[in-house]
Amino acid sequence: MAVEEPWGWERLGDLCLSGDWGACARNGVWALCSGSGPHQCRRPTSAAAPQFLQGECSVEQNRAEASQRLLATLNPDVEVSVHSGELSEEFLTAFQVVVLTECPLEEQLRVGDICHAKGVCFIVADAKGLAGQLFCDFGEHFVVQDPGEGDPLCATVQHISQGNPGIVTCAGADKNYGHRFSDGDLVMFSGVEGMVELNSSEPCPVRVLDGFRLEIGDTSTFSPYCGGGRVSEVRPRQEHSYEPLRQALAMPRIQARSSTELLRSRSLHAAFQALHAFCQERGRLPQPRASEDAERVLELARELGSALGPLDEDVVRAFASVSAGELCPVASFIGALAAQEAIKAITGKFLPLDQWFYFDALECLAVEGAAGLMPEDCAPRGSRYDGQIAVFGADFQEELGRQKYFVVGAGAIGCELLKNFAMMGLAAGPGGDITVTDMDTVAHSNLHRQLLFREADVGKPKAQVAAAAVRLMNPDIKVTAHQVQLGPGTEKLFGNTFFQRLDGVVSALDTLTARAYLESCCIRSRTALLDTGTEGAKGNVLAMVPPLSQQLEPSSDPTDRSFPLCTLRFFPSAIEHTLLWARDEFEGLFQLPAESVNRFLGIKQLLHDVPPSHESSPGVPFWSGDKRCPHPLIFDPSNDTHLAYVEAAAQLLAHTYRLPSCGDRMATRDVLCHVVLPPFVPKDGRYVPTAEGMEEVEETLEPGQMLDLVQELAQWKQELGGGTEAMDAIHYDKDSDLHLSFITAASNLRAENYGIPPASRLTSQRIAGRIVPAIITTTAAVAALACLEVYKLVWRCRDLQCYRNSNLFLSACLFFRIQPPPAPTYWYRGKEWSCWDRLEVRAIGEDGQAMTVRELLAWLQEEHGWTVTKLLRGSTMLYDGEEDEEMRAQQQAQRLSDGVERSAEPQQLELQYVCAGDELEDVCPPLLCTLP
């Protein structure tokens, strides 16, 4: 199957996916579904919960054939075919990668032997109940082309000493931060002036001295350093060797980060083998919650796992007791990891798994209510949720259907969440409801990872399209969609009453500002929140469970990169600087002229004001360190970058002035070849800031010049027809090919001015558009982990030890799950308070209206014995005990509702206060007043 890979590789390769449940297919990645025997065609009498590609209409159909029809619609460029015959050696060797899912162990061993012998990368993915297993065999000489994630590290050289060793002083793109290299990293130099020997040297290791200095090899014989230069990371290729499955079963290399985790993984390794033996012995999986079956699996595990050392017998028993179950989140998580490993096998990008990985969420069984389930509670009901009932019971399934959840964001993670919720049956029963909101519409660039959208949905509201898609997956699910942005302006729709009726909130937002606002809403209403996020192959899930866990705190935004204005305009030293300059140039040329006026100096003017020989102080060259001396460019219409810049700018300007544009590149080139450009003559008296933080001095107009300008603008307006909107402002669209063409060309021309290596079109799009890298494997895994926490919230678990915060790094198959931090406490007026505690009062006075300040002060005195000396609402002082008697009387007569905008629902004010004797206290319980 040829794959069009969305993040840069033209062809990923050929993939064979065989098994009972399509791990990759379920996550909307890519797959060739294939059968390997009669067991592949058996279907239950109802659609199983984890399989989003199959609905009620698929019952009794071959899974591969049923999946193929829908899988093919995910990406029309991907060829998906079905093979229902034997997985013969001849058939398997036609593929680069073979993935087996939920196959008998004998079949795994047979196919694994063939693949290892023929050099075909081989993956096994399996999920049983609350646990999953992943195995990789990429052959004896697998080459990893690029083991790291993200762009290679680079820094600007500021100075290089002559010595043994040489000391390199450098800084990152943002000069407030260091280089970020580590001991042993290999680096190469480019653009170094003076010490030019480094530009042609082989990669050399560095030793970190501090955040801004690196130690390299002997530079004592090199020429003296004059200026400029970049130091860039070199990632060497790596070769890895893998054992075939047959050998790896006996002596497994298991990826684990601690001895405790290794013991648990080894226990699961033995448990999965014992489960295969049990199935061969009994012809079935263990019955849910049947202690006799679980004990027999444990006996088999003891026999098979003796070479691995001691077993955690509780883990084996728990695994066996629910191994007959099928859970959508577990299938999605293991499927996402398997898909990422398949991408690694085909591309050589990122470090593959070495060789076994085990995952479990057996902590879900420790939740009160789940631990005491009996076999009859988990017996099949003939419903689509039988696989989930086998784990959590029928009563729990009914409770799932009654849930009220709020999903904020219907992008990549939001789509995965809604898909999982539909498969789980969340809000699919009486009283249940899912509310989803997203202000965006579907863009073409969304289609590579947001699996609920198709080509025909481009331009439609994301939330509405996503809601309609999951209703097709599960007609019983109740979903209400909104196309609004969550914020203070939508509190009439999403106010405190709305949040208080919810069972939980899941954040799938892509901005920290929106996340912080959502967190404040959940904190105020004490509603559970699951915060999710991804960046490339990294992802995380944070659980905020009132009143057990600590409240979430805002983190830094990876897209918020700001640089001093003079760096962008005059002293760029990195491609990030030229790209952000190009973004400003775009707005200055095509957006701001329709709104205001913007000016930029050119390179020759800069060199006229600050020539190459200029000294910032006697003996200290101005153009040194991170200030790179530019050189002007001579326009050449035969240069593709020059032509692309003019062509894109001309088309954008034509659009601004509502004029037709020419799309014929050859005609444009012919015109430009005959254009004679007048030489640029620098002017005296201009100002260039020479230090960070210094602002550009604006030129002022004399009164007569201003009058002339006003008259000229009036004449232009009359000539253009007198309309009020004679020009169309163009706002930068990261998905527009024309906009991106201008940004890329402008940035790379600017980079050439300053001797900075150019950036590719893809890199330019990412940096200028402030795009956080996103891939469906990470979003699928993160959404799955969030849904496992939803199970615990549905149980109304009050044991913080059962919850998990998760961090995953799919580039190296690293995974961390830890208990959320407990809610912090503090002492105030002789009592211990939790961060979730607050003082609450229905602020209704004796007359039925909102309390006066006097009545509230009296309530605090009567209820808590506190004498309040200051009372504030935000920055507004409601009461100040230090004022004179007349002013205090006026303040006390105010009603709490004075100055508060009226609302259709009861409003809750959060007030701040200071009590007598506590002027030095900086923490006190919030005071929440509910107005009538």
Query: Tokens 């863009």 sit at which residue?
Result: 443
Strands in 766-875 per DSSP E: 805-809, 814-818, 825-828, 831-834, 839-842, 868-873
For the beta sheet containing 404-408, the strands, ordered from the edge strand earlier in sequence to the opposite edge, are 479-482, 433-437, 404-408, 504-507, 529-535, 538-544, 805-809, 814-818
* CA 5 to chain centroid: 19
- Show the tokens assigned to 8: 């840069």
Q: Could you give the CA distance from residue 758 to residue 574 in angstroms, rounded to a whole number? A: 9
For the beta sheet containing 356-360, the strands, ordered from the edge strand earlier in sequence to the opposite edge, are 33-34, 15-19, 97-101, 121-128, 131-137, 356-360
Q: Could you give the CA distance from residue 804 to residue 787 in angstroms, rounded to a whole number? A: 11
In a 13 Å sphere around the CA of 229, the CA atoms on its Cβ side amount to 26
Please choose, from the candidates 597, 605, 603, the residue with its C-alpha nearest in 3D space to the C-alpha of residue 581: 603
Query: Tokens 């044991």 sit at which residue?
Result: 799
Q: Could you give the CA distance from residue 314 to residue 267 in angstroms, rounded to a whole number? A: 9
Q: Could you give the CA distance from residue 287 to residue 292 in angstroms, rounded to a whole number? A: 9
Q: Could you give the CA distance from residue 651 to residue 629 in angstroms, rounded to a whole number? A: 32
SS3 readout for 108-129: HHHHHHHHHHHCCEEEEEEEEC
Q: Could you give the CA distance from residue 324 to residue 326 in angstroms, rounded to a whole number? A: 7
Q: Could you give the CA distance from residue 588 to residue 599 in angstroms, rounded to a whole number? A: 8
DSSP for residue 664: -
SS3 readout for 358-405: EEECHHHHHCCCCCCCCHHHHCCCCCCCHHHHHHHCHHHHHHHHCCEE
| Catalytic choice (204, 226, 566, 924) | 566
Please choose, from the candidates 540, 582, 552, 600, the residue with its C-alpha nearest in 3D space to the C-alpha of residue 789: 540
CB 418 within 8 A of CB 508: no
- Show the tokens assigned to 636: 């050449």
Q: Could you give the CA distance from residue 312 to residue 852 in angstroms, rounded to a whole number? A: 63
Q: Could you give the CA distance from residue 662 to residue 650 in angstroms, rounded to a whole number? A: 8
- Show the tokens assigned to 161: 């000493």
For CA atoms 711, 712, 713, 715, give the dihedral sign.
Answer: positive
Using CA atoms, how far residue 839 sits from 484, 646, 845, 892, 909, in Å, is 32, 64, 17, 20, 12
Q: Helices 776-794 and 328-347: crossing angle, nearest 10°?
A: 160
Q: Could you give the CA distance from residue 266 to residue 273 in angstroms, rounded to a whole number? A: 11
The 10 Å Cβ neighbour count of residue 433 is 18
CB 661 within 8 A of CB 650: yes
Helix H or strand E segment including 886: helix 885-893
- Show the tokens assigned to 559: 């897209």
Helix H or strand E segment including 606: helix 603-609
Q: Could you give the CA distance from residue 149 to residue 340 in angstroms, rounded to a whole number? A: 13
Q: Could you give the CA distance from residue 800 to residue 566 in angstroms, rounded to a whole number? A: 51
Catalytic status, residue 115? no
- Show the tokens assigned to 323: 């191994």
Task: Name residue 230's beta-bridge partners.
Answer: 156, 190
Phi and psi angles of residue 461, each rounded to the nearest 5 degrees, phi first: -60, 130
CB 930 within 8 A of CB 907: yes
Indicate which residues carry an active-site annotation. Answer: 566
